[in-house]
Amino acid sequence: MNFSFVVLMFFIQIASASLLKHEVSLPRYKEFEYSDVCETMGSKNAILISPKSLSELECLNKSYPLIDFCLKKFPVDKTLTRGYVDQEKKKVICEMSDSVMLSVSCDARDLKYCFIPKKGCELLRKIYANRLETAHYSMLEKNLNCYFSKPIGESLNEI
């Protein structure tokens, strides 16, 4: 079994451990080949390409955050939320959405997000809802809840 695959599977289990809820409204997905990401990010003809994590791709020992790739591909899309690896399809996905709702358990791993809820949601926004705005945040019991949406006014007058 490939060592990087084992590490990736371990990362996936840890990464999803304290994310209690991740709801995306009206999601739209654009799929890309790994090689497209490498070429777009400047690694032409990369032979060794593999996911470094769910949000990074490695092209010839150089890592690229997938959100940076998606930001390049969709420079004006205000609903771009995140870029990630779909391991089953072996593709990179750029996700767009009108809103994202997250609930994070304030356990030892993600406690840093919970000390100052507004700041915690802003940090999570950069991961899960990149171009959306933080519309609401709250602490309920030991969970941080964040709601992200398009800027106010943009969703009211769209055709």
Let me know whether 113 and 78 are in one domain. no
Does residue 55 or residue 141 have the better pLDDT?
Answer: 55
pLDDT at 65: 97
- Residue 1 lies inside a defined structural domain of this protein: no
Q: What pLDDT, on the 0 to 100 scale, is given for residue 118?
A: 95
Task: Determine contact, residues 24/95, Cβ cutoff 8 Å.
Answer: yes
Q: How many domains does the chain have?
A: 2
Span 73-112, pLDDT tens digits: 999 999 999 999 999 999 999 999 999 999 999 988 888 9
Q: Which residues face 144 on adjacent strands?
A: 104, 139
Domain assignment present for 121: yes
Residue 59 counted as domain residue: yes
Full domain range(s) for residue 34: 27-96
Question: Are 159 and 102 spatial neighbours (Cβ–Cβ below 8 Å)?
Answer: no
Amino acid 152: pLDDT: 67
**Each residue's pLDDT tens digit, 3-18:** 333 333 333 333 434 7
Q: Average pLDDT of 46-64?
A: 92
How far apart (Å, rounded) are the C-alpha atoms in residues 94 and 51?
Answer: 15
Residue 151 binned pLDDT confidence (cut-offs 50, 70, 90): confident
